[in-house]
Amino acid sequence: MIKKTRAEITKCILHKVANKFNSGQNVFSEDLIRFDQESYDLMKNFLMKPFGNLTQSYRFVNHEDARLDPLNNFTSEIFKEEAAFVDYSKSIVNHLFEQSNSAQIKTGDVIVVFIEGIEYKDVLTEAVGVFKIENKVDFFQTYLDDNESFDVVVQKGISTKRIDKGCLVLNTADAEGTVVFSVDNHNYDAQYWINNFLNVKLADDYNSHTQSYLEMCKEFSEEVIKPELGMQQQGNFLANTVDYFKENESVDYATFKDEVFTDEKHKEQFDDYKKHFENLNDVLIRNNFDVSGVVLKKEKSKLKTEIKLDTNINIKLDVDAPEAASEYIERGYDEEKKMKYYKVYFNEEK
């Protein structure tokens, strides 16, 4: 996680990236953007805000040789010689252009910035930020017409609510290489931004271990538990998973299975699914790792524990209450109505 309290954008330039698939051409600026205080404050918050709560970081795939990762190479040269910022910002856009090999890759504005004063692990450092604006919004611009009456015209502009795609390449590294943070709010092509443009992989730390394990449990509940045992048991499994992570500072794979599963059959299914998940996502699920509380809080909000019925009634289970699904809900079949039912126990309505 980074701290941006003392961060300052000292260089900023905007280019336009085209689509290689459609034979477009990039358009480049030659000069840096000169801000007034109001526009600077707005731009700084717009670009930096998405990174305030990120816990997971990435590393370049070929971190031992920056030349094999173009973005790593270009940003490294900028850190060595800030005067080359404009030229290398164009190289970054050209590299992004080379990844647009399908019609669905969107054209857009690319903002490249140099940032000083970013704090990472209690150390102040610099960063190069690359931000792609893919979608613009309509807004009304008011103006005074020839008759000295006010009128409006519709124009398109950049929304300050959230960035489409962005990354920060920090001028700091560990044993795995240069530290990179990334956001992608329009993930229409997973290969395009993370794999092709950035060419990065998740850092091998407890944040990524926690996320990968929880994602595996989520998919297992959807593909194995739900079809076989139904939504109630799916919710029960997810609640027990969250409870295990909350009650333990570290995860032990064997202990996790013993606490979450009562049937040996499901333990074996989980083992098989772990191998499937690793192969499918090209990720290694650790058998032992420390739990990241920040990632757990984030990921558990994505877990769906709602039982949706075809009678337009939904039962929402609390993922933080593992005993609720098993103790206070009963599932059965009514012979007279020829329908399945859920019986819910409670003391009073809230």
Q: Is 347 exposed, middle or buried (0-12, 13-18, 19+ CB in 10 A)?
A: exposed
Tell me how many helices (H) and strands (E) the chain has: 11, 16
What's the pLDDT score for residue 169? Answer: 97
**What is the C-alpha to C-alpha distance for residues 267 and 272, in angstroms, rounded to an integer?**
9
**What is the C-alpha to C-alpha distance for residues 12 and 115, in angstroms, rounded to an integer?**
9
Q: Give the pair of three-digit tokens for residue 267.
A: 């333990």
Question: Chain centroid to CA 137: how far?
Answer: 23
pLDDT tens, N- to C-terminus, the chain (350 residues): 788 889 999 999 999 999 988 888 999 999 999 999 999 999 999 999 999 888 889 999 987 777 789 999 999 999 999 899 999 999 999 999 999 888 888 999 999 999 999 999 889 999 999 999 998 888 888 888 888 888 888 888 888 888 899 999 999 998 889 999 999 987 777 689 999 999 998 888 898 899 999 999 999 999 999 999 888 888 889 999 999 999 999 999 999 999 999 889 999 999 999 999 999 888 889 999 999 998 898 888 878 778 888 898 888 888 887 777 778 888 889 898 899 998 888 888 87
**What is the C-alpha to C-alpha distance for residues 216 and 164, in angstroms, rounded to an integer?**
27
Amino acid in the structure at residue 23: S
Q: Which residue has the tokens 């600026």?
A: 29
Amino acid in the structure at residue 73: N
Q: Give the pair of three-digit tokens for residue 40.
A: 């600077």
Question: Chain centroid to CA 280: how far?
Answer: 19
Q: Is 147 exposed, middle or buried (0-12, 13-18, 19+ CB in 10 A)?
A: exposed
Q: For the chain, what's the residue count?
A: 350
Residue ranges of alpha helices (H) inside the chain are 37-48, 70-80, 85-98, 190, 206-220, 226-229, 231-247, 253-260, 264-281, 293-300, 324-327
CB atoms within 10 A of CB 79: 17
